[in-house]
Amino acid sequence: MTVQTHGPGRVRSTEELKALADAAGVELADATAEEVVAWAGETFGGSLAVACSMAGDTVLPHLVSAVVPGVDVLFLDTGYHFIDTLVTRDALAEVIDARIVNVLPVQTVAEQDAQYGAKLHDREPALCCQLRKVEPIERELAGYEAWVTGIRREDNVLRAHARLVEWDATHQMVKVNPLAAWTFDDVITYAQTHGVPFNLLLTSGYPSIGCEPCTRPVAPGEDPRAGRWAGLAKTECGLHL
């Protein structure tokens, strides 16, 4: 199956993009989220994409679309989302000026089941994430020069040193993390203040939300991401490594 992509393509060279990322990482180290987004919008225009999981990061497309109207918002439509997540996506699309792009895996869940057997996520979650998240987002990001993510330093130790702007060596593009310094409470406060639709699972014991088969609620005081791939060594889907 041929999967459609949506980005305008890249104009700058890899070297130019890396130089931009390195310089902005220093210059904007103490900037606010809004300042970082403004810089990204001015610098990349239509070659800027926002990644949103429609979990704890709906404030991100809200922030970015206010500065870059019509910006592409990439949602990984894995086929395994909670219904709450899909409802959140549709509610958000109603209130922001952005193009929500449903990024699809090559195979439907039924086609994947036919090739690999049912519940690949229980047996080989790394392969399942590769097929349903990593490959689709890599394919889509190849059409943009920069992407904005909802990474926050408090998410886990792997993200503790995330910069507001950094070079993404994996995808060979600029990565903008305007919420890096935000806390979970900051996110909730912003969503409530600005009337941003947010995933109701967040206030039902799911501070970190992924695909339904791989997410469980966490107890008070637990690591917010402890409910992701619980019982397995896996802590990241591979998008931000």
Q: Tell me which residues are annotated as active site.
A: 237
Total of chain residues touching ligand SF4, rule CB under 6 A? 13
Tokens of 183: 């806390």
The least distance separating ligand SF4 from the CB of residue 79, rounded to whole angstroms, comes to 8
Q: Does 210 bind ligand SF4 (CB under 6 A)?
A: yes
- Between 121 and 225, name the residue whose CB sits nearer to ligand SF4: 121
103 belongs to the binding site for ligand SF4 (CB under 6 A): no
Contact (Cβ atoms closer than 8 angstroms) between residue 145 and residue 17:
yes
Stretch that binds ligand SF4, among 4-12, 58-66, 88-96, 120-128 (CB under 6 A): 120-128
CA–CA distance, 161 with 170 (Å, rounded to integer): 17
State the Cα–Cα distance between residues 18 and 166, nearest whole angstrom.
8
Nearer residue to ligand SF4 within complex by CB, 7 or 227: 227
- Return the residue of 37, 59, 85, 133 that touches ligand SF4, per CB under 6 A: 133
Q: Least Å distance between CB 210 and ligand SF4?
A: 5
- Binding to ligand SF4 by residue 25, rule CB under 6 A? no
Specify the 3-state DSSP secondary structure of 89.
helix
Residue 238 interacts with ligand SF4 (CB under 6 A)? Answer: no
In terms of Cα–Cα distance, which of 227, 234, 208 is closest to 123? 234
Indicate the SS3 state at residue 114.
Answer: helix
Which lies closer to ligand SF4 via its Cβ, residue 47 or residue 78? 78
**Considering only residues 62, 89, 121, 225, which one is a binding residue for ligand SF4 as defined by CB under 6 A?**
121
Torsion angles phi and psi, residue 153, rounded to 5: -60, -30
d(CA 176, CA 163): 8
Distance CA 29, CA 105 (A): 35
Structure tokens at 19: 């130089």
Contact window for ligand SF4 (CB under 6 A) among 18-26, 55-63, 124-132, 154-162? 124-132
Length of the chain: 241
- Using CB under 6 A, which of 80, 87, 159, 181 touches ligand SF4? 80
Applying CB under 6 A, among 50, 141, 202, 237 the residue interacting with ligand SF4 is 237
Residue 24 C-beta: closest distance to ligand SF4, Å: 31
b (16+ CB within 10 A) / e for 113-146? eeeeeeebbeeebbebbbbbbbebbebbbeebbb
Signed CA dihedral, 232, 89, 4, 167: sign only: negative
Residue ranges binding ligand SF4 (CB under 6 A) = 78, 80, 121, 125, 128-129, 132-133, 210-211, 213-214, 237
